[in-house]
Structure 1
Amino acid sequence: MRKPRMGAGGLANISLGFFGIQIGFVLQNSNMSRIFQTLGASMDDLPALWVAAPLTGLIVQPIIGHLSDRTWNRFGRRRPYFMAGALLAAIALLLMPLAPAFAAPLVFAAALLWVLDASLNIAMEPFRAFVGDMLDSSQHATGYAVQTAFIGAGAVVAAIFPWLLEQFGVSNVAAAGEIPATVRWSFWAGAVALFAAIGWTVVSTREYSPEQMAAFEAEREVEALQPLRALAAKSYASSLLWLAAGAVVAVIVAPLGLEKEIYLLAGLLATYGVLSAIGIAMARQGREANMLSSIVGDFSGMPDTMKRLALVQFFSWSALFIMWIYSGPIVSQYFYGSADPTSAAYNEGANWWNLIYTVQNGVAAVAALLLLPAMSRRLGKARTHMVCLMLGAAGFLGYFVLRDPDLLIVCEVLKGIAWASILAMPYAILASSLPQAKLGIYMGLFNIFIVVPQLLVATVMGSVMNAFFPDDPVWTMLFAAAAWALAGLAMLRVTVPDETR
């Protein structure tokens, strides 16, 4: 039994919520450093304050994925999490501009960032599984492409909204310790847009019942306890190896003069070792219904397609995090000739980067609707993603070899195509390859391979650059180009069930 095909209106309804979610993420990513510094944080404080973003994703997404797979009530399976996340995120967006009015405003803003990022993850994670729930496998590529188009559109709206407010006379500066009016009104408008977009998806869609989902998946039924039994059969050797790896990383930080953020990586390695040992012990005791053993068991027993895609995601998101950290300073230093943040040339370069980054997101929205579905029908999902990643690698390489800032638009077009594919194709492949009963948890675990490379780049890249290229950040673009090229080559190992070669 196959799911009925969905028309254009239905495809838009199930993905509109991501428009609001991306507005929240872009407002957060674009403005939180500015808010922290306004409230008294130094440049050295920012990494510690920002650690909330990857850590909350690492913790929240597997948990929400596990819970949403097992939820069914009168509001549905995934939709209760949409609304809970939307409500909490909207409250955080409304309160963030008011931080200066509270006691210890920097602490208040940092706490709100944790709430905001966790809430956005609560709403976002089930959306990935929701498209897979609602569509037949023949429409997965199109469904995730539409979702990506809304992501790109939300990013563009959130990025240009403060600039538009300034053009209409809203002040972009404020007294010391106060948040500019453009930022305040952007956060408040973002809260309304986020809640309205997610609310529309909730009220305009009706999820399939558990009985219907079981009928759709009759040919792909899975043994729910198989990962737990496999976990119970595992030895504690792998747990000890994770613990040992964490200890080794912690020990080498000081002797090698590495950045202190690498201690976070050591802690994460050791923590997973402890959690995996606890999960094995619980599985051996026959405690099969607990969340920890289920998550650890599913992580250690990922299907082959997911493991191969995980490698692709690792390289893909390593390059993206490099881009977000270094692209702005590189444009100013190498294309406008100034590394001095107080100079006119530096700020002209920063403005140009903001504009062309908006081009990247706009291209992603258009490519998702017009290019990716056509390519996936002709080449297949795996080959489509490989081609797009290679185009994106060429875009990063352009930053390394070009010196005309106008030509960077071409680089951003290429990167926008790759960005659209990164947001769509891996999830379309997973949704076509995984059992629906576990789609939420597997999507949550899959997103670990988005978070981990970000943490690695944040902790390791600074040490690499200080050791080999202390005054030449443009070399990071070569690292990013190589990472996307490796991700593209890794796609050669990925096969998609039921896809004609």
Structure 2
Amino acid sequence: MSFGFLGIQFGFALQGGFMSRIFQTLGAEKDTIPILWIAAPLTGLIVQPIVGYLSDRTWHHKFGRRRPFFLIGAILSTIALFFAPYSSALWVAAGSLWILDASINISMEPFRALVADKLPDSQRSYGFVVQTLIIGIGTWIASNLPWFMTQIGIPNTAAPGVVPDSVKFAFAVGAVVLFSSILYTILTTEEYPPSDLEAFEKEKEASKGFFTGVQEIFKNIAGMPEVMKKLGVVQFFSWFAFFTMWSFATPAITEHVFKATDTSSEAYNNAADSVGNYLGTYGLVSMVFALILAFITSKVKINRKLVHMLSLFTGGFGFIMIFFISEPWMLHICFAMVGVAWASILSMPYAMLSSTVNPNQMGVYMGIFNMFIVIPQIVAAVGGINFMYKLLFGEEVIFTMVLAGSSLILAGFSNLLITDRAATHDG
């Protein structure tokens, strides 16, 4: 039931690892990159609660509750992923990112809800960790695709303003994997019908209409569980950090570590391929760490809060170390530490949340919870990154990685706000 996340993460990894490279190739200045990302989280802020709400109120005897949304998102994501690297102008690339991110999210949030639908509380840490294991595999493979394409002879350089063929081929492979893996989940996974189908149909009938749906979403936002609000603080600092990485890892590392700034040069494109390789390391380590957590959570009960806190601290120090390294290979160590945080971010908050939410509202609350992912990205995109790293650390773009690390450490400390035992411990 989680295999489709392999494809979803192919999309996210290619988007996160290489859209900034595409923006730079098309002439974007470093400080303008975050604003080019803004359409994606803005759309997510609107799309995710709506998709969650609709999936809660969907039931078909053949297609189920969540799977129709998997298919819609997969079709749209595949199209957007294929065409993104063929963008001829910055506004086209930004539009492609907007469509791609929104489409992936149509599939992603119902996937989160599906795990909570099908597993009892005692197995949810395990379920979300297994999902994270698959995400780690996707991140590692997809992040290395442009590098691999270069190794088999596909050019990784092109004329100024043209995205290299290695990136185009990588996105095409990602599109195929995304669609086929989600389709596999759709075809092989059964969903449970609502426990009381008659009551479900009556509730769905009563909530018909656009304005009724909007009112219910806002009512759910206003009445969100206390644990969810506290987790929102943790999520804010966590996703601010990772948005900073996706926006600035390529310009920061190619400039600071490889001393390459000419985006049409072979040196820059080799360095950008290497950045993708290093980003793959965090996916690989998140896979290994998730595998370890999967083994542990299948055998014993864990303290989710403590695991998440220590993991975020590890990732935060990994980001900060990037500023101090003397050799490029050391980036593997830094991103390995980031991978520990990534594995926890993709599992522990959802396990904590799902233990405190009404099962009949799982979809809408998973969608609302994603607001705490997209809001920090919006804050970062509209100037939060540029303002904060220059104010706190200095003008050099490498300080964005120091900012990302500091944000993750704050996210770790924010876990101390969560005191509900139902959330922090396996049931």
Q: Specify the TM-score bucket, using the shorter chain as the normaliser.
A: 0.7 to 0.9
Match of 1:433 among 350, 356, 364: 356
2:114 corresponds to 1:114? no
After TM superposition, give the deviation of residue 326 of structure 1 in Å: 3.5
CA RMSD of aligned residues (A): 3.2
2:58 corresponds to 1:71? yes
- Whichever residue aligns with residue 340 of structure 2, its letter is I
After TM superposition, give the deviation of residue 425 of structure 1 in Å: 0.6
2:12 corresponds to 1:25? yes
- Whichever residue aligns with residue 38 of structure 2, its letter is V
After TM superposition, give the deviation of residue 58 of structure 1 in Å: 1.2
In the other structure, the counterpart of 2:43 is 56
In structure 2, distance between residues paired with 1:500 and 1:184: 44
Question: CA 1:179/1:443 → structure 2, altered by over 3 Å: closer, same or farther?
Answer: same
In structure 1, distance between residues paired with 2:18 and 2:336: 24
TM-score by length of 1: 0.74
Match of 2:305 among 374, 382, 388: 382
Q: Which structure 2 residues correspond to residues 54-453 of structure 1 after superposition, within 5 A? A: 54-74=41-61, 75-96=63-84, 108-175=92-159, 178-211=162-195, 290-336=212-258, 338=259, 340-341=261-262, 350-371=272-293, 373-374=295-296, 377=300, 379-453=302-376
In structure 2, distance between residues paired with 1:178 and 1:474: 26
Question: Do 2:126 and 2:297's aligned partners in 1 also have CA atoms closer than 8 Å?
Answer: no
After TM superposition, give the deviation of residue 349 of structure 1 in Å: 5.5
Question: Do 2:237 and 2:411's aligned partners in 1 also have CA atoms closer than 8 Å?
Answer: yes
Question: Do 2:142 and 2:280's aligned partners in 1 also have CA atoms closer than 8 Å?
Answer: no
Question: CA 1:473/1:45 → structure 2, altered by over 3 Å: closer, same or farther?
Answer: closer
Question: CA 1:199/1:96 → structure 2, altered by over 3 Å: closer, same or farther?
Answer: same
Q: What are the ranges of 5 or more consecutive residues in structure 2 without an aligned counterpart? A: none
In structure 2, distance between residues paired with 1:42 and 1:297: 41
Residue-pair matches, total: 415
In structure 1, distance between residues paired with 2:104 and 2:252: 30
Question: CA 1:177/1:398 → structure 2, altered by over 3 Å: closer, same or farther?
Answer: closer
In the other structure, the counterpart of 1:262 is none
After TM superposition, give the deviation of residue 15 of structure 1 in Å: 0.5
After TM superposition, give the deviation of residue 392 of structure 1 in Å: 1.8
In structure 1, distance between residues paired with 2:329 and 2:83: 39
Question: CA 1:445/1:16 → structure 2, altered by over 3 Å: closer, same or farther?
Answer: same
TM-score by length of 2: 0.86
- Whichever residue aligns with residue 486 of structure 1, its letter is L
In structure 2, distance between residues paired with 1:89 and 1:360: 23
Question: Do 2:311 and 2:344's aligned partners in 1 also have CA atoms closer than 8 Å?
Answer: yes
In structure 2, distance between residues paired with 1:112 and 1:477: 26
Question: CA 1:351/1:87 → structure 2, altered by over 3 Å: closer, same or farther?
Answer: closer
In structure 1, distance between residues paired with 2:367 and 2:395: 38
In structure 2, distance between residues paired with 1:123 and 1:309: 23
- Whichever residue aligns with residue 69 of structure 2, its letter is Y
In structure 2, distance between residues paired with 1:404 and 1:98: 34
In structure 1, distance between residues paired with 2:37 and 2:44: 12
After TM superposition, give the deviation of residue 435 of structure 1 in Å: 1.1
Larger radius of gyration: 1
Could you say which structure has the greater relative contact order, defined with CA pairs below 8 angstroms and 6 or more residues apart? 2
Question: Do 1:326 and 1:476's aligned partners in 2 also have CA atoms closer than 8 Å?
Answer: yes
Q: What are the ranges of 5 or more consecutive residues in structure 1 without an aligned counterpart? A: 1-13, 216-220, 226-282
2:408 corresponds to 1:484? yes
In structure 2, distance between residues paired with 1:421 and 1:194: 23
- Whichever residue aligns with residue 343 of structure 2, its letter is A
Superposed structure 1 runs of 4+ greater than 6 Å apart: 212-215, 342-348
User: Secondary structure of 1:382's match?
Assistant: helix
User: Secondary structure of 1:371's match?
Assistant: helix
Question: CA 1:396/1:200 → structure 2, altered by over 3 Å: closer, same or farther?
Answer: same
In structure 2, distance between residues paired with 1:37 and 1:412: 23
Question: CA 1:179/1:484 → structure 2, altered by over 3 Å: closer, same or farther?
Answer: closer
- Whichever residue aligns with residue 191 of structure 1, its letter is A
Deviations 1:359-413 (A, max 9, x none): 1110001111223552693542122111211222232332344434443333222
- Whichever residue aligns with residue 443 of structure 1, its letter is M
- How many percent of aligned residue pairs carry the same amino acid? 44
In structure 2, distance between residues paired with 1:49 and 1:475: 20
